[in-house]
Amino acid sequence: MNTRIDQCFTRLRQQKRKGFIAYITAGDPTLEQTLENVLLLEKAGVDIVELGIPFSDPLADGRVNQESAMRALESGTTIKGIFEMVGELRQRSQIPIMCYCYMNLLYAPGFERTIKRAARVGIDGMLILDLPSEERGNYATLLNTHDLNYITLITPTTPKERIADIVKHGSGFVYAVSRTGVTGVQSKLANDAGQLLKRAAAVTDLPLALGFGISTPEQAAAAARQADAVVVGSALVQRLHEAGRSRNARKQVADWLTSMVNAIH
């Protein structure tokens, strides 16, 4: 497999740089604006975009991302519309794109049918929040068959033996959650994040990305010293929401993003 995500991490490794993965909710406030937001992220130096597919029961998300998902759903966002938007985006950008989603959204329309369409429009990987390792079975195989990275998730409470089982079927990179709990801005990087990364590095050669709660250049730089990539979500989602369509406010978001990218790189 050689997705845009795989190519990105190969390039980062060759350049001896760390990666910046930016999370935004697809459809907040509209899919048209989401496309423009992705282009803004790319221009600011983001390496990979993580598109959240809005869901009515987002168990892993904190208040900011929950509210963002609700705004997207209220605007009429569907998985079909998201895929169409990515297809349009691919005419203007080849930035690596992964989806952050819940199993029901992929399963209800038919899992393989949905995955095939995701691959066809130019999506590179899937992080399925509520697919336990014990149930991955044919789902992980289908993702691999259709050249989509199966991005796995580990947390500070995941035992080393279970980490080994989780990551052996994954590809692209491993998403390491920096702390227990849901998404959301934190005042400092959790102390146990480093230990989690060490446990993961002992059992996989996949790149390790650290996320959940990172919101300042200082936190980003601290995370980048330990991980291969840093994921920033809630802080960005909130800034984009507050900026709306204001050109000046969106420039401020871009400037903040650039400061985060510089801290990580």
Q: Which residue has the higher pLDDT, 58 or 81?
A: 81
Whether the CA torsion 147, 153, 159, 162 is positive or negative: it is negative
What's the pLDDT at 179? 53
Residue 197 to residue 201: CA distance in whole angstroms = 6
Dig out the tokens for 143 from the structure.
């993702």
Residue closest to 78 by CA, chosen among 122, 34, 39: 34
Residue 45 to residue 262: CA distance in whole angstroms = 9
What CATH number was assigned to the domain covering residues 4-264?
Answer: 3.20.20.70
Q: Is 61 a catalytic residue?
A: yes
Domain parsing of the chain, residue ranges = 4-264
**Which member of 50, 84, 135, 218 is catalytic?**
50
Q: Is 134 a catalytic residue?
A: no
**Which member of 47, 61, 124, 228 is catalytic?**
61
Residue 243 to residue 123: CA distance in whole angstroms = 27
Output the CA–CA distances (angstroms, integers) from residue 121 to 11, 77, 82, 128, 218, in the order listed: 23, 17, 10, 19, 36
Summarize pLDDT for 113-172 with one digit per residue, the tens: 999 999 999 999 999 999 999 999 999 999 999 999 999 999 999 999 999 999 999 999
